Structure 1
Amino acid sequence: MSEELRCIGCGSILQDQDPKKSGYLPTSALKKALTSDDNEVYCQRCFRLRHYNEIMPVEENNDDFLALLNSISQKKALVVNVVDLFDFSNSLISSIKRFIGGNEYILVVNKVDLFPKNSKESKIKDWMRQEANRNGLKPEKIFLVSAAKKKNLADLMAFLAKKGEKKDIYFVGTTNVGKSTLINAIINMNSDLKDVITTSKFPGTTLDEIKIPLSNGHYLIDTPGILNANQLASHLSGKELEVVEPKKPLKPATYQLLPGQTIFLAGLGRFDYVDGPSSGFTIYVARDLYVHRTKTENADTFYEKHKDDLLLPPSKDDCLGPLKGQTFSPKEKSDILFGGVGFITTPANVVVKAYTPEGIGLGIRRALI
């Protein structure tokens, strides 16, 4: 077996010894690949993912991924931290400076096409810069893009061409932020190649770094997604993510609530109106996600009765803990954040309590809409 031969989809070294490890290819297929002039070879996992949308579990080591990222600090590079607009705080790598040393880095925020159409990009950028600064980060630039729709990619590509002229460009991020989809879109806009890197709704599709040669002699490098326990995507299955992640721009749904009423966002979020006048609360979640209103006094009973049917996801297999709540008393119109699920716009001077499994992804910001 040649250690030079890697899967073009996930970056793993191809091997025929262990089906449970990354890069596995049956012996006959591997021998054929070794004697072929075709460099576009996919491991069995990527092949089945691309053609049948089936995920084959492999042994993954997050420590190996982190070690790979740590090596960037020893190189001259431009680092692109790709984050998810719908889970910005938890997909932001707050320790990125430790990984990249003195290298320049930018934030590329993906999935902007799915945000409500009446939102202003300048307002979104201001909030993100504040969040980055709050984490001690000062990215050189922030780009709002859509990898799927190729929105704003021309500006990003022009920046990368200028700043990455004499260095490699590393794309880093947590799992399922659309990093590989973004790189595929960039490649597609510059060549006739399509979907070179394997992508899917399943977290952790890229298993090793993938080097894509550039015309200037340097590389565009895709790195494995970091698994973050505080990121909802790392807990849900691909089928569940199909329900949770929006496919079209979020449409507002406004509920007039009285204190003592509760909204469930499937089993992934609960929102109690605790105190205040009769008020409108606007929910922004994927259209396929089940939303239910009930009395707060009945909420616990309703949850226990329906957590395995109406309130899916999550399922028992996701190993998520019980719902944990946090009370918010906004003094201005605010968004209560359910990271990876959506948000609820809340009026000023009310008291609400929001819950997610184990409190994952809860937060608040000044209303963006």
Structure 2
Amino acid sequence: MTNYEHFDDSKLNTVEDLEDDDIDGLEWCKNYGTPDPKVGISRVPCGGCGALLHCSDPAIPGYLPSEIIKGRTDEDLKNIECQRCHFLKEYNIALDVTVQPEEYENLLQNIRNVKSLVLLMVDLLDFPCSIWPGIVDIIGTQRPLIVVANKVDLLPGDSVGYLKRVKECLMKELNKTTLSNANIKHISLISAKTGYGVEELISAMFKLWMYKGDVFLVGCTNVGKSSLFNALLQSDYCKVHAVDIVKRATVSRWPGTTLNLLKFPINRPSGWKIQQRYQRLKAEAKALKLENEIRRGQVKGKIFNEAPSLIGHIGRTFAMPLTDDSIDQKQPIDILDDKHELFVNSKWFYDTPGVIHPDQVLSLLSTEELLMTIPKSIVRPQTYYLHPGYTLFIAGLARMDFVDCSEPCRFTIFCSEHLPITVVKTEDADELYEKFLGTELFAVPTGGTERIKNWPGLKMGKDILEFTGQGPKLCCGDIVLSSIGWISVTGKYKSVCKVAGWTPGARGIYKREPSLLPYSINLKGKRIRDTPAYKVGKVYSDENS
């Protein structure tokens, strides 16, 4: 791997050597290297994002400085990642690239022409805003589809059986879209980050699809596709010979890190392989059960300060190249070549670009703002007791007005711990927002005067949302606020609660019934004296739910 900081710039003039008229043309100062449009585009994809490597223009995906790309063979380039992926991985800096939204869907048109299984990935912290109903227009209603709901490890459990209720809630939201007509074969709740549920997903793919054709992983930006791709790459689902030679996908909180098709060859699930895999999973399950019993004994009588995450182990049944391939490897394979005799007849697993959903606000945020907005740990619910005529702000990103109700209601907020909550009278909300936007009180958006000047501001959704109370122990529904979070409503039995949601450009404001976590109201702590807020209460843990 060539470090971009160390490319040979000895033949370039320094700033001191240039006349004033030449400084504007010193592109390598701004773009970490010099572009050269005269050099043609290579046929080698970046191992991190899949875009073809080139040195034509830094704004086009797959860019490499000409100082790195010139004089290198295709074999050399296969070991180098593009500049954008390098900066994302090493420094968590996202360099701007220009990709038109229609290019994503044009790339996915290939799915129409091949026999394939589709994995549709959804973010459990952001649905229905992360459900891409447009996939049905591309794949049709007959092609088999598996819905993969990611980030289950970040959901706080509310009571026994909460995972079952989460799946039911997701299914109801899917049925409200064109996906109700899709050929959904299975729904998996997973965490691509911790590995929870991934082995079960692999077993489901082997059982439902076997080796009938290619598999495409699709979904909106930032749902975790690249993380799942990397997890499956190191699992039984990837052909053993390719595990160590396929480069991992770039993983970042910046949306849209995968810009082309990444792939690895799928392991053929013959009978004896499935049997060996079953024996491994059975042995691991027995060991895990014993481990959990010991763990429960250790924590008995203790109070959790933080909810334990859902964690799963992703193992490999076959760690060495199989001996039944009848192919004599004269030389070790260092680079994935789909024309190699080991892979030429393989079926492939593809990671596709993230589709930008118009309901998501992530594309409006800077890297620093994304890091504050996207939760990194289990979301801890915060509950407030409000009378009609009051407003809740979630940082400077979202707002909820309590318009009307015959009784006060409780509102439980689910969002990143870095987003501050502000409660104010509705009549003062506009003035307060204008005064404190860009300050620590609202946290996001952050930046100087120019950043605030370009911020689109909050806009109210077109509909007033109505919820019918189910009593003090049950959340009757959720107000979904795009990619920012959601607010659960708890009201007196049969009372009608009217609220209005605000987000940038009124994006992604939804009423979700039933509530995703209906019993979360019972997790609140004691009321903080002389405030509308409750303390963040106990956490719930039930590994068998």
Q: Name the TM tier (shorter chain).
A: over 0.9
* C-alpha separation in 1, matches of 2:454 and 2:143: 37
Give the drift of 1:323. Answer: 2.1
Match in the other structure for 2:155: 115
* C-alpha separation in 2, matches of 1:33 and 1:82: 37
Q: Does 1:165 align with 2:205?
A: no
Q: Does 1:148 align with 2:193?
A: yes
Question: Could you give the per-residue CA deviations for residues 196-236 of structure 1, whole angstroms, max 9, x where no partner exists?
Answer: 00111111111111121223411110111112222122222
Match in the other structure for 2:459: 323
* C-alpha separation in 1, matches of 2:137 and 2:453: 34
Range 256-265 or range 268-277, more displaced: 268-277
Quick one: which amino acid aligns to residue 355 of structure 2? I
Match in the other structure for 2:257: 205
The match for 1:47 among 71, 86, 97 is 86
Give the root-mean-square deviation of aligned CA atoms. 2.1
Give the drift of 1:193. Answer: 7.5
CA contact (8 A) 1:112 1:144 kept: yes
* C-alpha separation in 2, matches of 1:194 and 1:239: 30
CA contact (8 A) 1:281 1:347 kept: yes
Give the drift of 1:37. Answer: 5.8
Q: Does 1:248 align with 2:385?
A: no
Give the drift of 1:21. Answer: 1.5
Match in the other structure for 1:181: 227
Change (3 A) 1:193 1:123: farther
Match in the other structure for 1:260: 389
Match in the other structure for 1:75: 114
Quick one: which amino acid aligns to residue 284 of structure 1? F
Give the drift of 1:165. Answer: 1.3
* C-alpha separation in 2, matches of 1:323 and 1:37: 51
Quick one: which amino acid aligns to residue 143 of structure 1? S
The match for 2:478 among 335, 357, 360 is 335
Question: Could you give the per-residue CA deviations for residues 214-269 of structure 1, whole angstroms, max 9, x where no partner exists?
Answer: 23411110111112222122222222111111111111211111222211101111
Match in the other structure for 2:302: none
The match for 1:313 among 441, 444, 460 is 444
Range 84-93 or range 187-196, more displaced: 187-196
Give the drift of 1:194. Answer: 9.4
* C-alpha separation in 1, matches of 2:505 and 2:51: 34
Change (3 A) 1:150 1:329: same
Match in the other structure for 2:432: 302
Q: Does 1:127 align with 2:127?
A: no
Q: Does 1:104 align with 2:104?
A: no
CA contact (8 A) 1:283 1:344 kept: yes
Change (3 A) 1:251 1:311: same
Question: Could you give the per-residue CA deviations for residues 13-63 of structure 1, whole angstroms, max 9, x where no partner exists?
Answer: 111222222211223422465264673320111112111111111221222
Q: TM-score, normalised by structure 1?
A: 0.93
CA contact (8 A) 1:17 1:24 kept: yes
CA contact (8 A) 1:70 1:98 kept: no
Q: Does 1:289 align with 2:432?
A: no
Change (3 A) 1:344 1:35: closer
Match in the other structure for 2:403: 274
* C-alpha separation in 1, matches of 2:454 and 2:171: 32
Look at both structures and tell me which one has the larger radius of gyration over its CA atoms. Answer: 2
Give the drift of 1:294. Answer: 1.2
Match in the other structure for 2:102: 63
Structure 2 residue matching 1:271: 3-state secondary structure: strand
Matched positions, count: 369
CA contact (8 A) 2:60 2:98 kept: yes
Match in the other structure for 2:506: 359
Quick one: which amino acid aligns to residue 352 of structure 2? T
* C-alpha separation in 1, matches of 2:72 and 2:197: 38
Range 211-220 or range 173-182, more displaced: 211-220
Give the drift of 1:68. Answer: 1.2
Change (3 A) 1:212 1:192: closer
Unpaired segments of 5 or more residues in structure 1? Answer: none
* C-alpha separation in 2, matches of 1:18 and 1:58: 9
Unpaired segments of 5 or more residues in structure 2? Answer: 1-39, 237-242, 269-345, 446-450, 470-475, 519-545
CA contact (8 A) 1:77 1:164 kept: no
Question: Could you give the per-residue CA deviations for residues 280-332 of structure 1, whole angstroms, max 9, x where no partner exists?
Answer: 22111111101111112211111111122232423537653532144222114
* C-alpha separation in 2, matches of 1:33 and 1:9: 19
CA contact (8 A) 1:236 1:318 kept: no
Structure 2 residue matching 1:108: 3-state secondary structure: strand
Change (3 A) 1:280 1:319: closer
1:30-45 matches, within 5 Å, as 30-31=69-70, 33-34=72-73, 36=75, 39-45=78-84
* C-alpha separation in 2, matches of 1:172 and 1:257: 41
Give the drift of 1:3. Answer: 3.9
* C-alpha separation in 2, matches of 1:214 and 1:278: 56
Match in the other structure for 1:237: 366
Q: TM-score, normalised by structure 2?
A: 0.64
Identity %: 36
